[in-house]
Structures are given as structure tokens and as C-alpha cells.
A and B are shown apart, each in its own frame.
Chain A
């Protein structure tokens, strides 16, 4: 079946540190891959996505590359800010119309100044 595994948190970093949150997936076919972010007290927001192998999604300094050979979609940011503190979810969507997202467990990021 389809599943997403992401690194356990919490991840605690100082401002301007480099961030990596690992995400690997299991899926049949060619799913689309996503990173969502949930800020405290808010709903889920799409951070970035990639729909095919070798695509790189990027937004707000974050980026992730769809690696089919390693079934991975690791999230990276070169220099985190305090405002990046949130919970980050990796997700996949099977390549079928009308299907739901399948989420990883989420990784809490805490950035201190």
C-alpha cells in the first residue's frame, strides 16, 4: 500500500541553521509528493509540491526534490528563522483523480533566536 515515513521530531535549531527533514515514501505508480506546514493554531497550508521524478518544489526558501530512485522527498532550508517554527507534514497523493492525501506523522520544528 501507500505510506509516508518522516523523521521523528522535535527538531530544535538555532536561527540561521540548516534544516533537513527526511521523508521517504512507499507507493505504487507515480504519486505526487507534498510538504504541508501547520503553524500553531492554524490549519494545514501547502508549502511545496512535486508531481514527477526529479522535480524540485520550492517556496519561502524551502525546497525538496522528488527522488524516485531513493523514494524520498527530503525538505531542506538553508537558513531557518524563528517564524519557521511549526509542524511539517510530508504527504503523497496517488496518481488517481479524486484521491485523498496520505500523510506522514509530522515533524515539529522549533527555531530559537
Chain B
């Protein structure tokens, strides 16, 4: 099956710094990728839809200036958490849509801890 890879899998940063998380589709081109956030013992909440070559579409309540999403190529989308604070600590998961079938494949997730 198709493979989606996220990097880094774990990151710890100081409050006020920015962190970039990468999501790559390794063996297919994905025009659409999705970013989710998962709180402990809670569901995956959709943050934004990332379309290659255009601005991301953010869900209601998600700060687009804080969570910068860039989908510069058909195999890479990045999520940058700017000026991170402890409340941004979470598990971030991306998924990419296989163009031929629309099936979604998920990355392994990235756990962000802000001190």
C-alpha cells in the first residue's frame, strides 16, 4: 500500500520557539493532505486541508497564523507551529489522499512537547 511518513516522530521544544513537522507521501503524489491533532484519550480533530499549490483551508477555531501549513510539492506538506506554548503539546497526524482511489493513508504521527 501507499506510504506516508512524518518527521520528526517526537520533538521537544522550549516555549516561544517554532517547530516544523514534515509529511511526505513516499510512493505517490498527493494533491491533498490533511492535518489532524489528537489530544490524549480523544479523537483526531481535523485542523486543516492542505492542497498543493494553494493556501490551506483551516477548520473553524484553528489559528492559521499559529499553525502554518505549506504544501509546496506533490509529495510534501509541512506544519509549522509558531511561537509554541505548552498548550500546543499534542500528537499531530497527517494523511494523504491517493489520487487514483481517494483512499487516505496516514503518517505515524508526531508528538510535540512544549516545555
Check if A43 sits within 8 Å of B43, measured CB to CB: no
Query: Chain A contacts of B34 at CB under 8 A?
Result: 100-101
A residues contacting the other copy or chain, number (CB 8 A): 18
Which of A63-71, A77-85, A103-111 lies at the interface? Answer: A103-111
Per DSSP, chain B at the interface is strand
Query: Chain B contacts of A45 at CB under 8 A?
Result: 106
Known: A46-B103, A105-B41, A105-B43. Contact between A100 and B108, CB under 8 A? no
A47 at the interface (CB under 8 A from B): no
Residue from the list B41, B97, B106 in contact with A43, Cβ < 8 A: B106
Query: Chain A contacts of B6 at CB under 8 A?
Result: 43
Query: Chain A contacts of B95 at CB under 8 A?
Result: 44, 100-101
The number of residue pairs between A and B whose CB atoms lie closer than 8 Å in the complex comes to 46
What is A's interface to B at a CB cutoff of 8 Å?
A: 4, 36, 42-46, 89, 93, 97-98, 100-106
Q: What interface size band does chain B fall in?
A: 20 to 34
Query: Chain A contacts of B93 at CB under 8 A?
Result: 43-44
- Taking the closest CB of chain A, its distance from the CB of B19, in whole angstroms, is 19
Interchain CA distance A103-B42 in the complex, whole Å: 10
Q: Give the nearest-CB partner of B5 in chain A.
A: A43
- Taking the closest CB of chain A, its distance from the CB of B77, in whole angstroms, is 13
